[in-house]
Amino acid sequence: MLLQPKNRKYRKAQKCLSNLKKGVTRAHRLSSGSYGLKALDAGLVKASHIEALRRSVARNIKKIGRLWIRIFPYQPISRKPTKTRMGKGKGSIQY
């Protein structure tokens, strides 16, 4: 169950590096629950990272607690294949 958007206006997005350098400015308070995890370093998070975290935490808390995930991997990352010459448009979406 990997997270991905149902539909987007544009399939391939531009890189927005300025938002990554600023850091997190929202979701710094708990909206529900008593404990939380906070990322200290800003960066892109893959859907596979979120799924691995969810499985690991769910295995440890079992039926004792509840888990809320408040991030979503909405930024598509595109790459051109290796040994490909420059030009000829943007590469296909990798993750």
Per-residue pLDDT tens for 60-73? 888 888 888 878 87
Question: What does the block give as tokens for 56?
Answer: 């690991």
For the chain, the domains span: 1-95
Strand partners, 30: none
Strand partners, 79: 92
The confidence score (pLDDT) of residue 85 equals: 92
Residue with tokens 């909206």: 31
Per-residue pLDDT reduced to its tens digit, 16-72: 666 555 555 566 677 788 877 777 776 777 888 889 988 998 898 888 888 888 788
Phi first, then psi: what are they for 9, rounded to 5°?
A: -70, -45
pLDDT of residue 55: 92
Alpha helices in the chain, H assignment, sequence order? 17-22, 47-61
Task: Check: pTM over 0.85? Answer yes or no.
Answer: no
Q: What angle do CA 19, 82, 92 make, to 5 degrees?
A: 55
Rounded Cα distance, 69 and 49, in Å: 12
Does residue 84 sit in helix, strand or coil?
A: coil
